[in-house]
Amino acid sequence: MAIIREFIRRLGYLVRRRKKEDELLREMETHRALMENPRAFGNTLRLREEARDAWGWNWLDGLVQDTRFAWRTLRHSPGFVVTAIATLALGIGVNIGMFTVVNGLLLRPLYERPDEVISIYGRGTAPDGGIRGVSYPNYLDLKEGTTSVFSNLAASSTGFVGLGAGEGARRTLTSGVTANYFEVFGQSPALGRPFTTEEEKPGADNRVAIVSHSFWTQRGADPGLIGRTLRINGAPFTVVGVAARNFAGASIPGPDVWVPLGAETAFTTTTSPVGTLNSRDAQTLSVVGRLRSDVSIESAAAAVETVGRRLAQAFPTYNAGYTLRVAPPSRFLFMPGPGSGAFTAILTALLMAMPAIVLLVACLNLADLLLARGHVRRQELAIRASLGGGRWRLTRQLLTEGLLLALAAGVVGLLLSRWATGALLTSLRPVIPVALSLPELDFDWRVLVGAVGFSLLASAVFSIWPAWLLTGRAAATDLKRQAGEEGRRLGSVRVGNALVIGQVSLSVLLLAVGGLFLASAISAAAADPGFLLDRGLVVELDSGLAGYDETRGRDANLALVDRMRAVPGVEAVTISSSLPFTSFGDSRNVAPAGVADAQAKAVDAVFNVVGRDYARALGLPMLDGRDFTATELAPGAEPVAIVDDLLARRLWPGDSALGRFIQFVDGEGPEAGRTMRVVGIAPTVRHSLSNPQPFPHVYVPLGQRYESAMTLQLRIAGNQSDAAMLTTVSRVIREFDERLPIVRLETWRDHLDTGLDSWVYRAGATVFSAFGGIALLLAVIGVYGVKSYVVSRRTREFGIRIATGAHPRALLWQVMKEGGRITAIGLGIGLLLAVAAGRLLQGFLYGVDALAPVVLVLTPLILLASSLLASCMPALRATRVDPTVALRSE
Amino acid sequence: MPRDAGLPPGTLMMLVLRVLVRQPLHGYAIAQRIRQLSADELSVEEGSLYPALQKLLVKGWVKATWRESDSGRQVREYRLTASGKQQLEAEIAEYRRMTGAIDVLLKEA
User: Pick from A203, A209, A199: which is nearest to A276 by CA?
Assistant: A203
Distance from CA of A60 to the nearest CA of B (A): 17
Q: Residue A362 pLDDT more than 80?
A: yes
Query: Across the interface, do A31 and B28 touch by the CB < 8 Å criterion?
Result: yes
Confidence of residue A750 (pLDDT cuts 50, 70, 90): confident
Q: What does the domain layout of chain B look like in residue ranges?
A: 12-108
Cross-chain residue pair A35–B28, CB shorter than 8 Å: yes
**Nearest residue in chain A measured CA to CA from B1:** A50
Q: Which residues of B touch A24 (CB under 8 A)?
A: 50, 54
Q: How many CA atoms lie within 13 A of A279 on its CB side?
A: 17
Compute the distance between CA of residue A82 and CA of residue B22 in angstroms, rounded to an integer: 65
Chain B residue closest in CA terms to A9: B58
Structure ipTM: 0.85
Helices (H), A675-807: 722-736, 748-753, 756-793, 795-803
Return d(Cα A359, Cα A352) in angstroms, integer.
11
Interface touch B60/A34, C-beta < 8 Å: no
Asked if A47 lies within 8 A of B75 by C-beta distance, the reply is no
Q: In the CATH hierarchy, which top-level class contains the domain B12-108?
A: mainly alpha
* Closest in A13, A26, A51 to B51, CB measured: A51
- Of the partner residues B47, B57, B66, the one whose CB lies closest to the CB of residue A50: B47
In this complex, the residue of A9, A23, A33 whose CB is nearest that of residue B60 is A9
User: Which chain B positions have a beta carbon within 8 Å of A49's beta carbon?
Assistant: none
Cβ(A875)–Cβ(A815) below 8 Å:
yes
Helix axes A808-841 and A486-525, enclosed angle (nearest 10) = 50
Q: Is B63 on the interface with A (CB under 8 A)?
A: no
Report how far apart the first and last C-alpha atoms of chain B are (Å, whole number). Answer: 31
Nearest CA-CA distance, residue A62 and chain B, Å: 19
In this structure, of A181-190, A436-445, A467-476, the range with the lowest mean pLDDT score is A436-445
What does the H/E/C string look like for A639-672? Answer: CEEEEEHHHHHHHCCCCCCCCCEEEECCCCCCCE
A-chain CB neighbours of B52 within 8 Å are: 54
Chain B positions touching A55 (Cβ under 8 A) are: 54, 58
pLDDT at A561 over 90: yes
Q: Which residue of B has its CA nearest to A34?
A: B28
User: Would the CB atoms of A42 and B73 count as touching at under 8 Å?
Assistant: no
Residue A413 has pLDDT above 50, yes or no: yes
Average pLDDT taken over every residue of chain A:
80
Dump strand ranges (E) for A217-291. Answer: 229-232, 235-242, 257-260, 286-291
Say yes or no: B53 contacts chain A, CB-CB below 8 A. yes
Q: For A47, which of B47, B55, B73 is closest by C-beta distance?
A: B47
B90, with CB counted inside 10 A (0-12, 13-18, 19+), is exposed
The pTM of this model reads 0.65
A522-556: pLDDT as tens digits = 777 676 777 777 888 988 887 876 778 888 889 99
Q: Which residue of A has its CA nearest to B72?
A: A30
Residues on chain A touching B75 (C-beta within 8 angstroms): 27, 30
Radius of gyration over alpha carbons of chain A, in Å?
36
Of A5, A27, A28, the CB nearest to B60: A5
What single string gives the DSSP state of each residue in A12-26? HHHHTHHHHHHHHHH
Helix, strand, or coil (residue A776): helix
From CA A521, how far away is CA A263, in angstroms rounded?
Answer: 44
Mean per-residue pLDDT, A214-224: 86
The top-scoring range by mean pLDDT among A72-81, A309-318, A339-348 is: A309-318
DSSP A53-115: GGGT-HHHHHHHHHHHHHHHHHHT-HHHHHHHHHHHHHHHHHHHHHHHHHIIIIIS-SSSSGG
CB within 8 Å: A51 and B57: no
Distances in Å between the Cα of A308 and the Cα atoms of A284, A297, A302 are: 16, 16, 10
At A173 the three-state DSSP class reads strand
Cβ–Cβ under 8 Å, residues A368 and A497: no
- The residue ranking higher by pLDDT, A501 or A456, is A501
Contacts of A307 (CB under 8 A, 6+ apart): A141, A142, A145, A146, A324
Across A579-656, where does the E strand assignment appear? 587-592, 603-610, 624-625, 640-644
Question: Are A867 and A824 a contacting pair, CB within 8 Å?
Answer: no
Q: Report, as an integer, the average pLDDT of A649-661.
A: 90
| Element containing residue A500 per DSSP (H, E) | helix A486-525
- A748, A536 contact by CB (below 8 A): yes
Residue A496, pLDDT score = 74
**pLDDT tens column, A465-508:** 777 777 765 444 555 554 444 444 545 667 777 888 888 888 88
Question: Domain boundaries in chain A?
Answer: 2-56, 116-330, 342-525+758-889, 536-719
Residues A265-283: pLDDT tens digits? 776 644 344 457 788 877 8
Mean pLDDT of A772-787: 79
Interface test with A, best of B33, B49, B50, B53 (most A CBs within 10 A): B50
**Lowest-pLDDT range, A36-40, A254-258, A695-699, A857-861?**
A36-40
Q: Name the residue in chain B with its Cα closest to that of A42.
A: B47
Q: Which of A128-137, A316-325, B48-57 has the highest mean pLDDT?
A: B48-57
**Are B21 and B43 a contacting pair, CB within 8 Å?**
no
The one-character DSSP state at A693 is S
In contact, A761 and A846? CB cutoff 8 Å: yes
Question: Considering chain A, what percentage of its residues have pLDDT values greater than 90?
Answer: 15
Cβ-Cβ pairs closer than 8 A, A with B, add up to 67
The alpha-carbon gap from B90 to the nearest alpha carbon of chain A, in Å, equals 15
What chain A residue is nearest to B47 in terms of C-alpha separation? A47
> Which of B13, B16, B26, B28 is best to mutate for the A interface (most A CBs within 10 A)?
B28
Contact B26 A30 (CB under 8 A): yes
Q: Is the pLDDT of residue A445 over 50?
A: yes
Within 10 A of A67 (CB to CB), how many other CB atoms are there? 16
- In degrees rounded to 5, what are phi and psi of residue A691? -105, 105
Residues in Cβ contact with B23 at an 8 Å cutoff, skipping those fewer than 6 apart: none
Determine the pLDDT at residue A665.
Answer: 79
Which residues are CB-neighbours of A243 under 8 A, at least 6 positions away?
A182, A187, A189, A190, A210, A211, A212, A213, A258
Average pLDDT over all residues of chain B: 86
Of residues A564, A581, A556, A607, the one with CA closest to residue A713: A564
Distance of CA B82 to the CA centre of its chain: 16
DSSP A296-365: -HHHHHHHHHHHHHHHHHH-HHHHTTEEEEEEPBPSS--SSSB--HHHHHHHHHHHHHHHHHHHHHHHHH
Residue A98: which of A394, A419, A462, A360 has the closest Cα? A419
Q: Give the closest-approach CA distance of B106 to chain A in angstroms.
A: 36
